Amino acid sequence: GAGVSQSPSNKVTEKGKDVELRCDPISGHTALYWYRQSLGQGLEFLIYFQGNSAPDKSGLPSDRFSAERTGGSVSTLTIQRTQQEDSAVYLCASSLEGRFHYGYTFGSGTRLTVV
Amino acid sequence: DAKTTQPTSMDCAEGRAANLPCNHSTISGNEYVYWYRQIHSQGPQYIIHGLKNNETNEMASLIITEDRKSSTLILPHATLRDTAVYYCIVRPMTTDSWGKLQFGAGTQVVVTP
C-alpha cells in the first residue's frame, strides 16, 4: 500500500484481556518500529526490527509485551493481561534502511483503552 | 539520558521563518541529526536529517554548526499547518547498521496568524 497501515484504529478492552495490534508496513521496507504514546506524553520506544537481525526489544516495558514480524513484513504487537496503564496510542513506523536513509513513515496508530 | 536539548515551546508568526534550535553537545562522529514533527492526533512525520553538512529539502533547511554541537531547523515560511511538536534526535550509524530512533520531549511550535 501507499502508507503504513495499522489495525484496529481503536480498541477498547477489559483489564486482564489479551490484545493484538497489527502493523502492515510499506512493501519492501526492511526496518520497523513500535512506539507508544500516552496522553500528552512523548513517544516511548518499544521494539525495533531491522532486516534479518535480532530485534531490539530493550523498550518493552514488561514481559506482558511481545512482538513479532513474520516474513519480514507484517508485525504484530501482543499485550497479555492488559492493565489500565497500557492505555495509549500504539504507533508503528517503517523504513527502507541501508547506507542511505530517508526517514520513517508512521502509521496513524491504534488507540488502546483498557477499562 | 537526554542526548538533545530543545526549548519547550516557541511561537512564530505566519509567513515568517521559524528557527528551531537544538543542542546536542555530546554528539559522536557517527551520529546523525534527525528532525521529525508531530501534528496533533497524527503520527510523527519525517522532516530532514544530516551529518555535518547543511541540508535543504522541500520542507525545511537544517543548519549544523561546524563543531556539530548544535543545529537549527528552519521552516522558511511558516503556515498555520506547521503548528506541531518538533523533535530533534541524534541517531548513530555504525557501518551499515542504524541505532534506534528515540524521541525526546520536543518543542511545541505554535504558528499564529
| Cell representation of residue B82 | 506547521
Strand, helix or coil at B44? coil
Nearest C-alpha in B relative to A97: B98
- pLDDT attached to residue B56: 96
Cβ pair A48:B100 closer than 8 A: yes
* Bridge pairing between strands B9-13 and B107-112: parallel
Nearest C-alpha in B relative to A90: B43
Q: pLDDT tens across A46-68, in order?
A: 999 988 888 989 999 999 999 99
Contacts of B38 in chain A (CB under 8 A): 43
Contacts of B8 in chain A (CB under 8 A): none
Contacts of B49 in chain A (CB under 8 A): 101, 103
Percent of chain A with pLDDT over 90: 70
Nearest C-alpha in A relative to B32: A101
Cβ pair A97:B45 closer than 8 A: no
Cβ pair A103:B105 closer than 8 A: no
Q: Which among B5, B14, B30 has a CA at the least distance from the CA of B87?
A: B5
Nearest C-alpha in B relative to A36: B43
Q: pLDDT tens across A5-22, in order?
A: 999 999 999 999 999 999
| Cell representation of residue A113 | 483503552
The residue-averaged pLDDT of A25-43 equals 90
Distance of alpha carbon A102 from alpha carbon A95, whole angstroms = 8
3-state percent breakdown (helix, strand, coil) of chain A, nearest 5: 5, 45, 50
- pLDDT attached to residue A69: 94
Enumerate chain B positions whose Cβ falls within 8 A of a Cβ in A.
34, 36, 38, 42-47, 49, 87, 96-98, 100-106
When CB atoms are compared, the residue of A98, A99, A106 closest to B44 is A106
Cβ pair B44:A108 closer than 8 A: no
pLDDT along chain B (113 residues), means of 10: 86 96 93 93 91 94 96 97 95 72 90 96
Cα of A21 vs its chain's centroid, Å: 7
